[in-house]
Amino acid sequence: MALEITDSSFQETVLKSDKPVLVDFWAVWCGPCRTLGPIIEDVATDFEGRAVVGKVDVDNNQEISMQYGIRNIPTVLIFKNGEVVDKIVGVAPKEVIAEKLSAHL
């Protein structure tokens, strides 16, 4: 299951992780985000133990959203060693997301 990441847990969970981290920036009111949600959950299950998969609610965590320039949601960022190494804006198929994350394992 995808972790809930907040402004206060972001540094520890994402930036200090020794594994690649996929972060889904989303909001409850966002239709495309609801479409992407189950895909992110599947990716979290598939990559358990190999990567961290989490979600940031942009309405409740505006500091991180602003820091990374999130203007459109859903936006998925992939981090490795504390740096953004890939980005997907909008809904993407599970295969595309898994392929991008696999490239950073």
Report d(CA 103, CA 105) in Å as an integer. Answer: 6
What tens digit of pLDDT does each residue of 33-47 get? Answer: 999 999 999 999 999
The residue annotated as part of the active site, out of 3, 27, 30, 89, is: 30
Can you read off the two tokens belonging to residue 101? 């994350």
* DSSP 8-state symbol, 13: I
Instruction: Read off the pLDDT band of 13 (50, 70, 90).
Output: very high
Q: Which CATH superfamily is domain 3-103 in?
A: Glutaredoxin (3.40.30.10)
Tabulate helix, strand, coil % of the chain (nearest 5): 35, 25, 40
Query: Given this model, what pLDDT does residue 3 score?
Result: 97
Kindly list the domain boundaries of the chain, sorted by start residue. Answer: 3-103
Per-chain mean pLDDT for the chain? 97
The pLDDT of 81-90, averaged and rounded, is 98
Can you read off the two tokens belonging to residue 31? 């239709």
SS3 label, residue 68: coil
Distances (CA, A) of 96 to 38, 39, 99: 14, 11, 5
Sheet containing 3-4: which strands, arranged edge to edge?
3-4, 52-57, 21-26, 75-80, 83-89
The residue annotated as part of the active site, out of 33, 44, 56, 76, is: 33
Annotated active-site residue 30? The verdict is yes
